[in-house]
Amino acid sequence: MGKSGSERMPCGEPYRSAVSCRVMENRRVAEGYFIMSLGLPAACDTPLPGQFVMLRAKGVQAPLLGRPLSVYAFKRGEKGATLEVLYKVAGTGTLLFSGLPDGGDVEVLGPLGGRFEISPGVKNVILVAGGVGVAPLSFLASHCRGDRADARPRITCYVGAGSADALVGLDRLEASCSDVRICTDDGSCGHHGLVTDLLEKDFNLLDSRDSVICACGPSAMLKRMAELLEKHTVACQISMEERMACGLGACLGCAVAVKAGDGGFRYRRVCKDGPIFDLRELIWER
Amino acid sequence: MGKSGSERMPCGEPYRSAVSCRVMENRRVAEGYFIMSLGLPAACDTPLPGQFVMLRAKGVQAPLLGRPLSVYAFKRGEKGATLEVLYKVAGTGTLLFSGLPDGGDVEVLGPLGGRFEISPGVKNVILVAGGVGVAPLSFLASHCRGDRADARPRITCYVGAGSADALVGLDRLEASCSDVRICTDDGSCGHHGLVTDLLEKDFNLLDSRDSVICACGPSAMLKRMAELLEKHTVACQISMEERMACGLGACLGCAVAVKAGDGGFRYRRVCKDGPIFDLRELIWER
Amino acid sequence: MRTNPVGTVTPRLGVDIGGLILKNPVMTASGTFGYGEEYAAYNDLNRLGAIIVKGLSLESRPGNPPPRIMETASGMLNAIGLENVGVRDFIREKLPFLRQFDLPVIANIFGETLDEYQKVAEILNRAKGVHALEVNISCPNVKKGGIAFGADPDMAAEVTRKVKGAVDLPVIVKLTPNVTDVAVIAESVEAAGANAVSLINTITGMSIDVERRVPHLKNVTGGLSGPAIKPIALRMVWQVARRVKVPVIGIGGIMNANDALEFLIAGARAIQIGTASFVNPRAVSDILDGLAAYLARHDISHINNLIGTLTGGEEC
Amino acid sequence: MRTNPVGTVTPRLGVDIGGLILKNPVMTASGTFGYGEEYAAYNDLNRLGAIIVKGLSLESRPGNPPPRIMETASGMLNAIGLENVGVRDFIREKLPFLRQFDLPVIANIFGETLDEYQKVAEILNRAKGVHALEVNISCPNVKKGGIAFGADPDMAAEVTRKVKGAVDLPVIVKLTPNVTDVAVIAESVEAAGANAVSLINTITGMSIDVERRVPHLKNVTGGLSGPAIKPIALRMVWQVARRVKVPVIGIGGIMNANDALEFLIAGARAIQIGTASFVNPRAVSDILDGLAAYLARHDISHINNLIGTLTGGEEC
Ligand SMILES: Cc1cc2nc3c(=O)[nH]c(=O)nc-3n(C[C@H](O)[C@H](O)[C@H](O)COP(=O)(O)OP(=O)(O)OC[C@H]3O[C@@H](n4cnc5c(N)ncnc54)[C@H](O)[C@@H]3O)c2cc1C
Ligand SMILES: Cc1cc2nc3c(=O)[nH]c(=O)nc-3n(C[C@H](O)[C@H](O)[C@H](O)COP(=O)(O)OP(=O)(O)OC[C@H]3O[C@@H](n4cnc5c(N)ncnc54)[C@H](O)[C@@H]3O)c2cc1C
Ligand SMILES: Cc1cc2nc3c(=O)[nH]c(=O)nc-3n(C[C@H](O)[C@H](O)[C@H](O)COP(=O)(O)O)c2cc1C
Ligand SMILES: Cc1cc2nc3c(=O)[nH]c(=O)nc-3n(C[C@H](O)[C@H](O)[C@H](O)COP(=O)(O)O)c2cc1C
Ligand code: FES
Ligand code: FES
């Protein structure tokens, strides 16, 4: 997320490094879900929608490795910038994050990875978010709003969660999207059922050259989408997740299988070649 | 420091366990020196002078093992008790302690080990504290004050430190002792030189059947004292330090060599057979 | 003999370790629970599957000069040097305390020669209140130039045969991880009559004080234990459990019920808790509670239905 | 070729690794620094002692199915499965980037057969900008029933001879820790002509998801690296450094300058940084700075005066 002061590259740019920064706020937004705001130095790079950061609590020895979290929001201010992540407590690392006090110190590496690409001609952006998958999509939606008004696509967002309690980030989505359609597994809010069912119903609306789907969510959701889209041609970009060590493309730890030209497969790195992939490129069962 | 609620021993007592408790205050008292006050439940055992606790920051994975710290003060209150430790930042564990916020959670096991024994007939208690060795001795001094007024011994305390900045806990010592004699290695406060030099000067005063010396400090200080006392008969109890794992006498990790009857040596456990030893019992070079 | 005051020992936890029936698979690892006394105020010893006491030799041993321990990343090094009271003093001074409990006592033994192993075993075989032996073959054989008995399949088998020949008690052979293929050693001691194998003992490591340029342990090297070694221990247990028929007892870095479950799922019939007791003196009790809770939550009627049920890998 | 922009490389850090002169002893460990590109924005590659690239085989390899990594206590398991672009693509696509720098490039190589080792070595020997080879003998030899070349002294020597015979470059042989006595293997490859040895590679471990009862790695087992293994790695380096005359390169859990110093004091002529780069992409630079600061602080005029200067132990 930043640069080291001491040395400079031959081009005059300082070398990059993980940046120590302060937790400005670490707010519980639902049972097990938190939004953390981090204060970054002015010299930090501006993240693009779909990119992520590797986050580590500073000075702790465990967990050892950073944890990848998508950029949920980013804003430049007077003296620096604010980066937000929206995260769910899933295990040791995120549990530790959830306990970080305001004013606590973290290390941020990034922004890393590639972005969602919405080409200028796109008229309809369809977002499909499962659970905490709302994070990168909300950032994407706010970005689309930021573009020139005449070029703004229409944004429809499908949001799924286990139950009403686990619906997070709706406020921002509603501010950025033309339409937000909600469903919950238990019917406690919105449509009763899976987000993919809701999506399926609307399919005739979606399947167009002017549309693009961007999705992020649990792999069961993404798999189901892959089946749905088999007989359609609408473009679909998804944000993938895998365990990561380096986040930079060096360790080859975050491999996912994609189709290779010859009908076979090859592995791609989620951190460097992704995390955004063409849904149709992925191989779900090997 | 306490008992587990769920099970009881055949005698009806609950089983012991480490007790989770809150950091009430964690105050820097000099560069690298801190006093931490811990709130303990009412059911805790009352520590005796010379005893120690094993302290761990709660929920952290590193360091793994607790760190032994002497009891510096203990007070029972309305709803519970307060235990204080006085510690110096020496490495990873104590550094972590120094960063614990007020309200932080720690685990305390103890009180452990044996006590300084001041038998009823003793008229002069001579304390010799090197650096943070002041902790158990200050607790001992306050204990002697607590006894029946007519039976109170006279307490003289020799305190040594590197420099004036590193003199900690003087206020309490002064409240409990008849006389506090200070020396610093750099002469920035009190006598210029080693605490053992000061002690040596007063030797004729000390060497009596009514006197007992209690000492705690770096091993160089204790070794020097052993030399000094070679030609004297005054009793001398010292608090020893060794790295510890269990603190309970089980791992045999904290061995120190003491003289055996046959002119040889045997190992004793600092945590269980100590930490208080007869100075003359110890073998300094093997 | 005291009775179990809380009754949380569920019948679904009973296991059979080579003829020794335990009420549950949770034991204490040798050298980490003293002779039981130190932890009796912290745990109801009646609840434990078994206690394995500090390693015993024929005569008492003073152990190594200090410093003997050092903490490392998620682990600790120890070079206690097998300090112990000697087998006879153990029987006289330590065993009576343990006999008060409804608790199988397993004596961990070692020797510097085959004969010493045999003698220690014979003495313990006659003692009242010893239920099994665990033979530590990880200590260097001074007669054979520093190679541990446990590192050579033939020597490991020889020790096993000697001890087996001397006792009627079940014999557990405790394996060292400092070998190329631990399963080969396991097979060898199984063939020599071991009733069970336990693994792992500590992994040899060291640590240096860079300011003074001296080793942190006076003995230079020591045995690494604790969470750091868990992945290695688990892998070895899994490898051995697939190669031998006798029960395998898993040891190494087990800090909580989750860790214990990993070993059981990998094929361990029982587990031993070592370093964890130093961090939390109630670790054995907490782990036992956690195992029972897991079985209840997953509706597993008996722990035997969990042991060795790992699926889903694709070894390349 | 870029020049060093800050000039913090002090002459007192230079070391000779079997004929390869490095400006300092800090190298990157194979498989943890990619082919350099990924870390070039984070570190001035001109400052490094050497870069060791991801292991190369004759043909490209896809690697193992995911999940490939899992974090463990103070460590991580990886089962990348030696995914790589193959030696020819490396030379064509990756080496030109590295040639821009004033940086010795060491190619880490492996093969499934002796012939493959030899061929990869020959190809690299002809490539411009490769300064030495590091031979990874820790991978299973499929032709010999799963026993790693590196676990057998004779096979390790055979690989060494084959590679040495095929090249004029200095040859470093990288040893596996999964053996009974690593010094025996080290002596064997030294006798076979290795110019240096490096150790340790990862220690085989595993980890289980107890809720689903499946291994966390699809490959079941993986290689453990990181701080957890440092005490083991350090012990092995110390053992080997006392037994061989060729330079020893220390690897395993080095996270900071202090860790690096432990290896140097134990006898390592140079060190490699692996997992640390994942935690801190500037780890190599930070460690280099820390080493220089230590030498200055302790007034040590040359790093050679530090290497192997451990004193004070009393081995029992
Ligand atoms: C590019 C990317 C972006 C992400 N963005 C977000 C986000 O914005 N908000 C959010 O809450 N989560 C996000 N995740 C997932 C998040 O990284 C994991 O939940 C987190 O790493 C789990 O760490 P832990 O220590 O809490 O759990 P662990 O104890 O490590 O594991 C708990 C469970 O989570 C799984 N897991 C661990 N690491 C990952 C991982 N990297 N990806 C997926 N599953 C994992 C484990 O297999 C296990 O089942 C993202 C992941 C990736 C790869
Ligand atoms: C019975 C007893 C009572 C003690 N009371 C106090 C006290 O009241 N206040 C206080 O500040 N310190 C006290 N100590 C010392 C304190 O335990 C150590 O300073 C502490 O454990 C160091 O831990 P660390 O993680 O900070 O340092 P580490 O990183 O573990 O080590 C830093 C340095 O301290 C040494 N060290 C580590 N553990 C011990 C130990 N147990 N004893 C002595 N030296 C050690 C190491 O060898 C090393 O040189 C006491 C020790 C004992 C045994
Ligand atoms: C301080 C200490 C002393 C030990 N003493 C013995 C012993 O006497 N005999 C033995 O077989 N194993 C001994 N061990 C090894 C343990 O029983 C166990 O195998 C090892 O510590 C790994 O388990 P853990 O990681 O749970 O501690 C000892 C371990 C420690 C830490
Ligand atoms: C993700 C990963 C990939 C690795 N790939 C290789 C490799 O291709 N060849 C090799 O010899 N060692 C490989 N290693 C081993 C490292 O080079 C190093 O020996 C080991 O990780 C121990 O060092 P560390 O604890 O500093 O990481 C790899 C290690 C990791 C973590
Ligand atoms: S996390 Fe290392 S390559 Fe992706
Ligand atoms: S610390 Fe375990 S015996 Fe003293």
Q: How far apart are CA B35 and CA C151, in angstroms?
A: 50
pLDDT of residue A1: 56
Q: Kindly indicate the confidence band of residue C11, based on its pLDDT and cuts at 50, 70 and 90.
A: low
Q: Which atom of ligand 6 is nearest to the CA of B244?
A: 1
pLDDT tens across D150-174, in order?
Answer: 999 999 999 999 999 999 999 999 9
CA A92 – ligand 1 centroid, Å = 10
Which domains does chain D possess?
Answer: 15-305 (3.20.20.70)
Mean pLDDT along residues C183-210: 97
> Which region among A166-170, B255-259, C51-55, D5-9 has the lowest average model confidence (pLDDT)?
D5-9
pLDDT of residue A123: 87
Contact flag D210-C74 (C-beta cutoff 8 Å) = no
Q: How far apart are CA A111 and CA D57, in angstroms?
A: 33
Q: How far apart are CA C260 and CA C251, in angstroms?
A: 9
DSSP H or E segment with residue C116: helix C114-125
Q: How far apart are CA D132 and CA D128, in angstroms?
A: 11
φ, ψ (nearest 5 deg) of residue A133:
-60, -10
Which residue among C17, C130, C135, C139 is the active-site one? C139
Contact flag D214-C311 (C-beta cutoff 8 Å) = yes
Q: Kindly indicate the confidence band of residue D7, based on its pLDDT and cuts at 50, 70 and 90.
A: very low
A79: which residues sit within 8 A by CB, 6+ positions away? A42
pLDDT at C6 over 60: no
Q: Between D151, D229, D234, which is nearest C206 by CB?
A: D234
Substitution target from D61, D180, D261, D291 for chain C, most C beta carbons within 10 A: D180
Q: Kindly indicate the confidence band of residue B262, based on its pLDDT and cuts at 50, 70 and 90.
A: confident
pLDDT of residue C9: 45
Percent of chain C with pLDDT over 70: 94
- Residue D198 near ligand 4, beta carbon < 6 Å: no
- Residue D32 near ligand 4, beta carbon < 6 Å: yes
Contact flag B252-C54 (C-beta cutoff 8 Å) = yes
Q: Between B7, B18, B265, which is nearest C5 by CB?
A: B7
* Chain A: partners with 3+ C-beta pairs within 8 Å: B, D
Q: Mapped to the 3 state alphabet, what secondary structure does D55-100 carry?
A: CECCCCECCCCCCCEEEECCEEEECCCCCECCHHHHHHHHHHHHHC
pLDDT of residue D8: 46
Q: What is the DSSP string of C152-173?
A: SHHHHHHHHHHHHHH-SS-EEE
Pocket of ligand 3 (CB under 6 A): B 251, 253; C 29-32, 54-55, 78, 80, 82, 108, 136, 174, 201-202, 225-226, 229, 251-254, 273-276
Pocket of ligand 6 (CB under 6 A): B 244-247, 249-254, 269-272
Q: Which ligand is nearest to the CA of C32?
A: 3
**Spans of chain A below 50 pLDDT:** 4
Contact flag A252-D66 (C-beta cutoff 8 Å) = no
D2 vs C296 pLDDT, higher one: C296
> Which region among A89-103, A148-162, B94-108, D209-223 has the lowest average model confidence (pLDDT)?
A148-162
Which residues on C lie below 8 Å from D266 (Cβ)? 206, 208
Yes or no: say if B97 and B57 are a contact pair by the CB < 8 Å rule: yes
Contact flag C277-B15 (C-beta cutoff 8 Å) = no
Which residues on B lie below 8 Å from D73 (Cβ)? 61
Contact flag C224-D232 (C-beta cutoff 8 Å) = yes
Best mutation site among B251, B267, B268, B276 for ligand 6 pocket (most ligand atoms within 8 Å of CB) = B251
Does residue D36 belong to the interface with chain C, where contact is any CB pair within 8 Å? no
Q: Count how many pairs of residues, chain A against chain B, have C-beta atoms within 8 Å.
A: 10
pLDDT at D110 over 80: yes
Mean pLDDT along residues D257-273: 98
Substitution target from C279, C280, C287, C288 for chain B, most B beta carbons within 10 A: C279
Yes or no: say if C308 and C244 are a contact pair by the CB < 8 Å rule: no
D141 vs chain C: nearest CA distance in angstroms? 12
Q: Which ligand is nearest to the CA of A92?
A: 1
Contact flag C220-D315 (C-beta cutoff 8 Å) = yes
Substitution target from B251, B262, B282, B284 for chain C, most C beta carbons within 10 A: B251
* Chain B: partners with 3+ C-beta pairs within 8 Å: A, C, D
pLDDT tens across B49-89, in order?
Answer: 999 999 999 988 889 999 999 999 999 998 899 999 999 99
pLDDT of residue D6: 41
Give contacts of D 258-277 with C, CB under 8 A: 258, 261-262, 265-266
Does residue D180 belong to the interface with chain C, where contact is any CB pair within 8 Å? yes
pLDDT of residue B245: 98
Return the SS3 of C112.
coil
Q: Which atom of ligand 3 is nearest to the CA of C134?
A: 11
Best mutation site among D225, D234, D271 for ligand 4 pocket (most ligand atoms within 8 Å of CB) = D225
Which domains does chain A possess?
Answer: 13-112 (2.40.30.10), 116-241 (3.40.50.80), 242-286 (2.10.240.10)
DSSP assigned state of D14 = -
Place of tokens 């089946």: A227
C5 vs C177 pLDDT, higher one: C177
φ, ψ (nearest 5 deg) of residue D235:
-60, -45
Contact flag C313-D214 (C-beta cutoff 8 Å) = yes
The residue nearest atom 9 of ligand 4, judged by CA position, is: D55
Q: Which atom of ligand 1 is nearest to the CA of A87?
A: 11
B252 vs chain C: nearest CA distance in angstroms? 7
Pocket of ligand 1 (CB under 6 A): A 52, 63, 67-70, 85-88, 90-94, 132, 135, 241-244, 270, 275
Q: How far apart are CA A47 and CA C303, in angstroms?
A: 51
pLDDT at D235 over 70: yes
The residue nearest atom 39 of ligand 2, judged by CA position, is: B243
Contact flag C44-B9 (C-beta cutoff 8 Å) = yes
The answer to whether the Cα torsion of A16, A20, A25, A26 is positive or negative is: positive
pTM given for the model: 0.96
D289 vs A231 pLDDT, higher one: D289
Contact flag A256-D43 (C-beta cutoff 8 Å) = no
Quick check: is C139 catalytic? yes
- ipTM of model: 0.95
CA C32 – ligand 4 centroid, Å = 33
Q: Mapped to the 3 state alphabet, what secondary structure does chain B carry?
A: CEEEEEEECCCCCEEEECEEEEEEEEEEEECCEEEEEEEEECCCCCCCCCCEEEEEECCCCCCCCCEEEECCEEEECCCEEEEEEEEECCCHHHHHHHCCCCCCEEEEEEEECCCCCCCCCCCEEEEEEEHHHHHHHHHHHHHHHHCCHHHCCEEEEEEEECCHHHCCCHHHHHHHCCEEEEEECCCCCCEECCHHHHHHHCHHHHCCCCEEEEEECCHHHHHHHHHHHCCCCCEEEEECCCCCCCCCCCCCCCEEEEECCCCCEEEEECCCCCCEEEHHHECCCC
Which residues on B lie below 8 Å from D74 (Cβ)? 61-62
pLDDT at D191 over 50: yes
B146 vs A50 pLDDT, higher one: A50
Mean pLDDT along residues C41-51: 96
| Per-residue buried b or exposed e for A40-64, using 16+ beta carbons within 10 Å of the residue's own CB | beeebeebbbbbbbbbbbeebbbbb
The 10 Å Cβ neighbour count of residue B148 is: 7
- Residue B138 near ligand 2, beta carbon < 6 Å: no
CA A67 – ligand 1 centroid, Å = 7
Residues from B in contact with C at Cβ < 8 Å? 4, 6-10, 15-18, 56, 61-66, 109, 242-257, 265-267, 272, 286
C89 vs B6 pLDDT, higher one: C89
> Which region among B196-200, C270-274, D185-189, D250-254 has the lowest average model confidence (pLDDT)?
B196-200
Best mutation site among B52, B56, B244 for ligand 6 pocket (most ligand atoms within 8 Å of CB) = B244
Best mutation site among A36, A37, A67 for ligand 1 pocket (most ligand atoms within 8 Å of CB) = A67
pLDDT of residue C1: 32
Percent of chain D with pLDDT over 70: 94
CA B186 and chain centroid, separation: 25
pLDDT of residue B248: 97
